[in-house]
Each structure stands twice: as structure tokens, then as C-alpha cells.
Chains A and B, each alone.
Chain A
Amino acid sequence: MEQQELIPHLFRSEYQKIVAVLCRLFGLEHIEIAEDITSDTFLQAAETWGLKGLPENPVAWLYTVAKNKTKDYLRRHQVFTQKIARQLSAGTATQTAEIEPDLSAEHIADSQLQMMFAICHPAIPAESQIGLALRVLCGFGIEEIAAAFLTNKETINKRLFRAKEKLRSENIQIALPGPQAIVGRLETVATTLYLLFNEGYYSAGEDHSLRKELCLEAMRLTYQLATHEATAFPFIDALLALMCFHASRFDARTGMHGEMILYEAQDERKWDQELILKGEYYLNKGSRGNGLSRYHLEAGIAYWHTVREETSGKWEQILQLYNHLLLLEYSPIAALNRTYALSRVKGREAAITEAEKLQLNGNHLYHMLLGELYTGLDAVKAMSHLQQALRLARSAGDRELIRRKIDVLAES
């Protein structure tokens, strides 16, 4: 790998590991110190490697420098050190010089997992959790996070600042919750990872590779949960399966010029079969026990979408899964998708009757669905719904998609 590529790559993969270990050492209330030391380490790497060329083992180099910087920091801040040294190793008389961050693979993995629980704490608003996760767990730059959220750096900085304040004021510890609390807390972690994945998969951001990175990071973190004995619950497997099924279509759904290709028009050969198989593996693995989470249902729906054959059995299954999903939790998008599935099982007329009961008049997707259902039955109504959808749609991608549908309808 060329050096210009290597540093951002290492930054992404090593930043979060070093921050997690240092946070565990210092305590979350000093997260900025952990971030500063880590950033300093990378700055020094960029300078030194630029002059002298790459070291033999860049990762080991980073760890050594991070360790030394930490020790320097601790030496320079005696008062602070004595305070945290007491907290750190209650009972053992630790000398400053002996405190050294443990950057072994095992310790890194544990620290990252604990960090996930700390950041996805119910006291922190979901939006901030995702921002903080991207920054601290995934090593994303502020600019990248801003691009992912379609906002500016100032907004993200403020959001992260407030989230860190919250970490302090709520005295959130970097530790795994006890066995009693772990399922509840793990649900919050899963929700954050689910939102992080969706941010990448559905966001209106133009940067295709950035969006894919978000998805891959969400999958990587979910995989960590699925493979750690304390957190390997069936609903985590189901969440990972869901992500695998969706991600299998990542390359098929974007055209040469970055335009969105709808499911029906995708080239099936571009679906990633390996990811589909992984999804099946985790969905089977997650089927132990009786718990049926929304992730199980959504993974089931996503699984059926990897089956190209348009049999009525397929849509019947999808309809039933959406019925169950809606019984667990209402969402407008599930209601709309259920109605589409219903049209595939019971025909358009039946679906129109059901769709008109939904009354989601302010939702552009609602009008897109009605436009779709009326196409071929009532061209005037179809057109009027599509135009209403165009008025309501906010993202450029959505508007482009609706315009294409309007053109097709006008020509027919």
C-alpha cells in the first residue's frame, strides 16, 4: 500500500483501538486526553514516515509511540496521575512509570467492546451516539461524519462535545454491564449499530464509498458483538444477518454514474453471494431460543429479497413477516412495505383499499406507492400521486427517481 493510502487506512483501523485502550486506562471522563495522545501519535507518524520512510512494522511503531506518549503524559501530570493511579490499581502501590497501556490484541478487543457499551448508553441521544461511535469506535474524521449526516463540521463538533459532556455528567463507566443489565443495554447498542448501518445504506449522501464504509463499520462492530461470549445473543446474530443480506446488494444498486438502481432492475450477478451465505449462516445461528426480535423479522424479509424468483410464496412470506413486524412495532416504512407485499399477494385493488387507510399523506413514499399501485389501473390517479410525491421528496436522488417514473408513465 502506498504511504498516502496507508496512513488514512491505519488511522481508521488503529485510532479506535488506541483510544479505547487509553480511555479504559484514564477513565471516560478523560476521553479528550486519550484522543489527543492518539492524534499526536498519528501526527508524528505522518511526519516521521514522510521523512524517513515507513517503519518495518507500522502498527507496532504506532503502539510504541502511543505508549511512550502516554507515559510522558502521566509523568508530566503528576497530580492527575496520582489521582487516577489510585483509582486504577486500588491496593497496589503503582509507580507512575509502571503504568503502561496494554495494547495486546485481547485487551484491545475487550476495551473496544466496553467502549461500545459506554458510547451506546441510553442517557446519550441516539444521534450523538452514532456520531460518537463513528468518531471513537470507527476512527472517522469530523469532516467525514459531517458528510455522512449531510451537515457541517461545527454541528458535529457541538454534538460530539455535548455527548462527551454527557459521558462525564452521567459518570458513565467504561465496563461491560453486569449479567442482569446486559440484554437491555445490548439492545441500545444494537439499535445504534442498526442506525449506523442504515445511515450508510439509506442516507441521501452522494459519497458512495463513504456510505459503504459506514455499513462495513457497522458490520464490523456487530461482528465483534456476535463473536464475544458476553454479547453473542440470538438477536445480535439476526442483526448481523440483516446487514449481510442488505450489503450483498451494495454494488448492484449503484450505476456507473452513481445513480440509484432499484431492486427490480438490478443485475443479480452483482449480488455478493458470499455475503448472502454469511447472512444465512447468522440467521440460522440466531434462530436458537424463542425470542423473535425485529431483527429476526427484518432479516427474514431481507433474506426473501435475495431470492430473485417472483413466486407468490415469496411475497406471502414477506407479507407475513411485515405483519409480525408491525405487531411488534409500528413504523410508516413497514406499513408501506407491507402494503406493497400485499399488492403482490392479493392484487393491486386490494392493496389500494388498504393503502388509502394508511393516511400517510405527508410522506413522499406513500404517494410513490399509490402511484405505483394505480399505474395500469388509473393513469390520472397514478400521475397525480407521483406529482404529489415529487413535491414532497427532499433528496435529489428521490426526486430524480420520481421524475423517471413520471416520464415512463407520461410515455405510456
Chain B
Amino acid sequence: MKEFLLVFRNEQQNMPAMRSPEEMQDLMKQWMDWIGGIAAQDKLVSRGNRLAMDGKVLRAGNVVTDGPYAELKEIVGGYVMVRAVSYDDAIDLAKGCPIFSIGGNIEIRQVIEA
């Protein structure tokens, strides 16, 4: 088994935090059903974290800019770590994530073992 990082990206206006409480609650349930399904296969390494919508970027010369990435449409909303035998297997785990129903996507990256 290898470990994979699933990175969730979405446009800001699509993020769950921008939705009504009912919609958010519903999304949360779908999210738990999806991630619970991965955990039930004993393939969840870490439930990761959700990230706040704002942020800072520090560049060389101590230049700090506001907001995550003004030049990008999509921002990273969070991440999860899973266990899978291959990229195909990891992709299968990512399928069914409710992010696809709200216009987002998942970047899947294998972790390089030390």
C-alpha cells in the first residue's frame, strides 16, 4: 500500500462556506458518508484538515500579499490522506466525493516514501 494526498480545489464562490446552512449540513452529511466509506475500507490515513478561505502569501524579500492566490480561480479548500495500492485505486477512492457536485476537483498525488 502506498499513501496518496487528495487535495480539494474549488472556486471560491462554490465553497461550502458560501452556502446556506441547510445546504452546508447536507454537504457535510455527504462528505461524512464518502469519507466514512474510505475509513470503512481501512484506507484512511488522515482525515486531514479544511482550510480557511483567506490566507497570506509570503514571497522573497518579505513581500506579503493578501488572499490566497489572487491570480488563480481555484483555491485549495483542504486535504485528506489515503492508502491505496495504485493511482487507479486512489482514483476509485476519490470518486463519490461530494466536491464534484459543487464544481470542484481533486488533485491526487502519491507521497514519496523516505
Contacts and interface: CB of A to CB of B under 8 A. Distances in A.
A354 B43 CA distance: 13
B33 interface: yes
26 contacts: A319-B33, A319-B36, A320-B29, A322-B36, A324-B36, A326-B36, A326-B44, A327-B36, A327-B39, A327-B44, A330-B39, A330-B40, A330-B42, A330-B44, A334-B40, A335-B39, A335-B41, A335-B42, A338-B40, A342-B33, A354-B37, A354-B40, A357-B40, A357-B41, A358-B40, A358-B41
Interface in B33-56: 33, 35-37, 39-42, 44, 47
Nearest to B28: A320
Contacts of A330: 39-40, 42, 44
B32 interface: yes
A320 B34 CA distance: 11
9 closest Cβ pairs, A-B complex: A323-B36, A326-B39, A335-B40, A323-B32, A330-B42, A338-B40, A327-B47, A357-B41, A327-B39
Contact of B40 (A316, A324, A326): A326
A339 interface: yes
A326 B37 CA distance: 9
- What is the predominant secondary structure among interface residues of chain A facing chain B? helix
A412 interface: no
Interface in A336-352: 338-339, 342
A359 B36 contact: no
Q: How large is the interface on A (under 10, 10 to 19, 20 to 34, 35 or more residues)?
A: 10 to 19
A351 to B, nearest CB: 11
A233 B83 CA distance: 34
Contacts of B41: 335, 357-359
Contacts of A342: 33
Contacts of A359: 41
A322 B32 CA distance: 10
Contacts of A323: 32-33, 35-36, 39
Nearest to A335: B40
Contacts of B32: 320, 323-324
Contacts of B29: 316, 320
A320 B42 CA distance: 17
B35 A327 contact: yes
A338 B44 contact: no
Interface in A293-348: 316, 319-320, 322-324, 326-327, 330, 334-335, 338-339, 342
A322 B39 CA distance: 10
Nearest to A342: B33
A342 B41 CA distance: 14
Contacts of B42: 330, 335
A339 B40 CA distance: 8
Nearest to B31: A323
Contacts of B36: 319, 322-324, 326-327, 338
B44 A357 contact: no
B56 to A, nearest CB: 28
A326 B35 CA distance: 9
Contacts of A338: 36, 40
